[in-house]
Amino acid sequence: MKFLTVAATLATSAFALTNHVKENVRSNFGEDKLIALSKGEITDVIHQILHDHGVDSVGHQDGKMHFKLSPNALEALDSEGVLYHDHTEEFISNMERNLNSENFVCSEGAEACASQQLDEFYSSYQDLAALEARFEGFAASNPSITSLDSLGKTFEGRDQTLLWIGDDGSKPIVFYFCGIHAREWITPMFCTYMAEALLDTSNEASQELLKNYTFAITPSANPDGYVHTHEVDNAWRKTRQPNEGSRCIGTDPNRNYATGFGGPGASANPCSDTYHGEFPFDQMCTNNIKTFTDNFASRIIHVNDVHAYGEYWMSPFAGTTNLPVDVAAHDQCNKAVYDAIKANSGLEFKIGPVATTIYEASGGAVDYFYEENAIIHSYTYEARGGGRTGLAGFQPPTSNIMPSNIEMYEGLYAAMKCIWDLEVEGNDPVPVPCEDSKSNCNSFSCFQEPNSCKETCGLCSEVAEENVPETPTQTVVTEQADLGPLVGAVVFLGIGVAAVGAIMAVMVHKMGKQQNQDAVANEGKLNHFELN
């Protein structure tokens, strides 16, 4: 693969920058502490304290939430006598150990880093210049099926690079963007790998995907923040746009969307890592994403806002524990992803709606795409990290990069098969009947808690009656996750539905969904968000 020569201005000495970051990990953490609380330990009082102080949840692992707390927030917890596990030292020393490990970040300059062979490229983290150079290489080497684009400019004037793959103007679009949270370094590596895997003509699964879908991929959706993590503070999460009247910089881009803006899980404090911004989409990088999804809403069949860490694949809603009308479809694809990843790496990604699987996070991307753009298959990955990889899960040891890429690509492939089956073939999911036979319990809840489904899922009465299939003979989708992509590709090949037909099907389904949601909202069965 030939790579374009990168402008000398891009070839900044990553070595010097990386060393600068290495020296600053501890001081950038300041007086903050990292604590772990299990979900069951988070009482209403604790929840309120975390909310009042705009506490930043940094990730999640093994049933525990990891929170970064300011001294004031800690004092509030202490005054309530809350017991917590202090992981600050472990977190910082893991980050330092990783940053000091050999070749943690490729430091040979953008051009040299970008032109490495696949194994070598993914054996280190890559800075923005190297990622961009690699994307330029993808475009240069595959001119007939790619085009390099941008979602728009960021506050600091950078492009949110976007690569189109296989766009013929009609196929349904699959939009993945990574790195919206700057420090989640393992995610741009995935978006880059994803593009590379799709362009690999020897990868049959990829070839099948490209027959049916157009891909749009943004490796670094928050490039200003990403550069900041490489140059100054590698734990930086937010954008770099200043806040008027505050000394604190940046907004959490995943709290800056209009849907549920300012609700639970978002902070009004500009110094918080979950600061929602002054008004929806006041961040250039989120506004650019919104413009893109608004423009292509009728063609986007699946969007994924890729995060780290904790090993999750999640569906709407994030801002409310209410369930969306498409819960059965989400459950079906969630489970397909779970199965595929487990078959590949053995990791058991947790699945389900964001709000009930991790925590409420309003004003986020997933809900906006689902609610406003009517993209049914709006999901979010949280890549592997934390736990066994050391608490520094945003940037786990580099030996995780390729396994993470591969398992997430397997998950993506399984999702695309599931989505095709539901949206193009029209095989609506069949909810599992509850024991009372009057209502339904979705498979996800039964699957997660097989022995206590009816008591704990809370869905039996919630699943809207319109999800009950009219004919009991409706097709149930057979799981194929254990077949693996190559064998699965043969099945997928058999679908053979024309691209134009597919996009029509997406549009018709979306119209139906919108009408359905309107009807449900009117009947007051679901509490949809107050839209700002």
Complex with ligand 0X9: residue 127 or 311, whichever CB lies closer: 311
Strands 64-69, 56-61: pairing is: antiparallel
> Would you count residue 330 as binding ligand 0X9 (CB under 6 A)?
no
The residue whose two tokens read 């899960």 is 393
**Separation CA 301–CA 377 (nearest Å):** 6
> Would you count residue 307 as binding Zn ion (CB under 5 A)?
yes
Task: Please identify which residue in 60, 181, 276, 510 interacts with Zn ion, judged by CB under 5 A.
Answer: 181
Instruction: Report in angstroms how near the CB of residue 27 gets to Zn ion at its nearest.
Output: 23
Which does residue 98 bind out of ligand 0X9, Zn ion, none, counting CB within 5 to 8 angstroms by kind? none
Q: 424: which DSSP letter?
A: I
Q: Which stretch binds Zn ion (CB under 5 A): 54-62, 277-285, 306-314, 505-513?
A: 306-314
Complex with ligand 0X9: residue 181 or 528, whichever CB lies closer: 181
Backbone angles phi and psi of 530, in degrees to 5: -75, 115
Residues 6+ apart with CB under 8 A from 482: 339, 343
**Separation CA 408–CA 189 (nearest Å):** 11
Angle at 260 between CA 258 and CA 265, to 5 degrees: 115
Residues in 249-278 at the binding interface with ligand 0X9, rule: CB under 6 A:
254
Q: Coil, strand or helix: which one is 352? A: strand
Instruction: Concatenate the DSSP letters of all residues of 222-242 into one string.
Output: -HHHHHHHHHT-TT--S---B
Total binding residues for Zn ion by CB under 5 A? Answer: 2
Task: Please identify which residue in 14, 18, 37, 59 interacts with ligand 0X9, judged by CB under 6 A.
Answer: 59
Q: Which stretch binds Zn ion (CB under 5 A): 68-76, 87-95, 307-315, 343-351?
A: 307-315
**Separation CA 184–CA 385 (nearest Å):** 10
How remote is the C-alpha of 78 from its chain's centroid?
33
Instruction: Report in angstroms how near the CB of residue 415 gets to ligand 0X9 at its nearest.
Output: 15
Whether residue 41 contacts residue 71, with contact meaning beta carbons closer than 8 Å, is answered with no
Whether residue 26 contacts residue 44, with contact meaning beta carbons closer than 8 Å, is answered with no
Helix (H), strand (E) at residue 448? helix 443-448
Cα–Cα nearest to 329, from 217, 252, 444: 444
70-109 mask for ligand 0X9 (x: CB under 6 A)? Answer: ----------------------------------------
Q: Write the CA distances from 324 to 359, 437, 438, integer angstroms.
A: 16, 22, 20
Q: Which stretch binds ligand 0X9 (CB under 6 A): 67-75, 357-365, 445-453, 478-486?
A: 357-365
Assess whether 278 carries a catalytic annotation: no
> Would you count residue 380 as binding ligand 0X9 (CB under 6 A)?
yes
Cα–Cα nearest to 430, from 465, 467, 405: 467
Say which of 111, 136, 208, 382 is annotated catalytic. 382
Whether residue 195 contacts residue 163, with contact meaning beta carbons closer than 8 Å, is answered with yes
Q: Which stretch binds ligand 0X9 (CB under 6 A): 129-137, 216-224, 330-338, 354-362?
A: 354-362
Task: Please identify which residue in 318, 430, 432, 502 interacts with ligand 0X9, judged by CB under 6 A.
Answer: 318
Which does residue 166 bind out of Zn ion, ligand 0X9, none, counting CB within 5 to 8 angstroms by kind? none
Instruction: Report in angstroms how near the CB of residue 380 gets to ligand 0X9 at its nearest.
Output: 4
Which does residue 354 bind out of Zn ion, ligand 0X9, none, counting CB within 5 to 8 angstroms by kind? ligand 0X9
Complex with ligand 0X9: residue 178 or 318, whichever CB lies closer: 318
Q: What's the Rg (C-alpha) of the chain?
A: 22
Q: Which stretch binds ligand 0X9 (CB under 6 A): 144-152, 337-345, 353-361, 462-470?
A: 353-361
How remote is the C-alpha of 299 from its chain's centroid?
20
Residues in 29-58 at the binding interface with ligand 0X9, rule: CB under 6 A:
57
Which does residue 224 bind out of ligand 0X9, Zn ion, none, counting CB within 5 to 8 angstroms by kind? none
Beta strands per DSSP E along 209-349? 214-218, 300-308, 312-315
> Would you count residue 60 as binding Zn ion (CB under 5 A)?
no
> Would you count residue 366 as binding ligand 0X9 (CB under 6 A)?
yes
Q: Which stretch binds ligand 0X9 (CB under 6 A): 10-18, 137-145, 364-372, 403-411?
A: 364-372
140-179 mask for Zn ion (x: CB under 5 A)? Answer: ----------------------------------------
**Separation CA 262–CA 278 (nearest Å):** 10
Which does residue 212 bind out of Zn ion, ligand 0X9, none, counting CB within 5 to 8 angstroms by kind? none
Closest residue to ligand 0X9: CB criterion:
307
Question: Which residue type occupies 318?
Answer: A
Q: Coil, strand or helix: which one is 175? A: strand
Polymer length in residues for the chain: 532
**Separation CA 510–CA 490 (nearest Å):** 28
Cα–Cα nearest to 510, from 440, 432, 422: 422
Complex with ligand 0X9: residue 56 or 231, whichever CB lies closer: 56
The residue whose two tokens read 């997928």 is 492
Total binding residues for ligand 0X9 by CB under 6 A? Answer: 15
Question: Which residue type occupies 292?
Answer: F
Residues in 180-199 at the binding interface with ligand 0X9, rule: CB under 6 A:
181
Residues contributing to the site for ligand 0X9 (CB under 6 A): 57, 59, 181, 254, 305, 307, 318, 354, 358, 361, 364-366, 380, 382
Residues contributing to the site for Zn ion (CB under 5 A): 181, 307
Give the catalytic positions in this structure: 382
